[in-house]
Structure 1
Amino acid sequence: MCRNIHQLHNFEPPATHDEIQAAALQYVRKVAGSTRPSQANQEAFDRAVAAVATATADLLGALVTTAPPKNREEEAAKARARAERRYAS
């Protein structure tokens, strides 16, 4: 759906509160169609971000897997390599 929202499950160390908040903010921005809500919509926007962040944290806490945790640096290097191939001139 949104390329800016990254996978948060099964990483070592686990996703931080800030990463969960950032993903929730990106999701709400995408759904709302704006990066900055008007003053009239700010409260609803903030409530939505908080609700999505709470749901995301609950989901991450409940998920189970038998796969070994991924290393953040290795996954970031793989993503950079994919981007280089995708955007090569």
Structure 2
Amino acid sequence: MCRNIKTLFNFDPPATDLEIHDASLQFVRKLSGFTAPSKQNTEAFERAVERVAAAARELIDSLVTNAEPRYREVEAAKAKARSAARFGAR
């Protein structure tokens, strides 16, 4: 599940709230072991996602770097090349 959590810091344009929410959702899924909580656990699950997303946004907004920002298209191309080298071109 956590393979879907991507680095969100130091991108141009910055990470969106949706990207942070999606990463937070994956994190809470991993911690809880649920891909979808039961009705009884839905409120706690959603509250956890909201809190993790808020903490992630605060972290990302607080970090500083002197490195040049990364670009999603370039990083996606690098990931595709790594995958092709690892698993072969398809």
TM-score, normalized by the shorter chain, greater than 0.5:
yes
Gaps of 5+ in 1: none
| Structure 1 residue ranges, 4+ long, deviating more than 4 angstroms after superposition | none
- When the two chains are superposed, the root-mean-square deviation of aligned CA atoms in Å is 1.3
What's 1:34 paired with? 34
Structure 1 segment 43-58 matched on structure 2, within 5 A: 43-58=43-58
Identity over aligned pairs, percent: 56
Higher strand content, 1 or 2:
1
Q: TM-score, normalised by structure 2?
A: 0.95
Deviation of the 1:2 alpha carbon: 2.0
Indicate whether 1:3 and 2:3 are aligned: yes
Gaps of 5+ in 2: none
Tell me the number of residue pairs that the alignment of Structure 1 and Structure 2 aligns: 89
Q: TM-score, normalised by structure 1?
A: 0.96
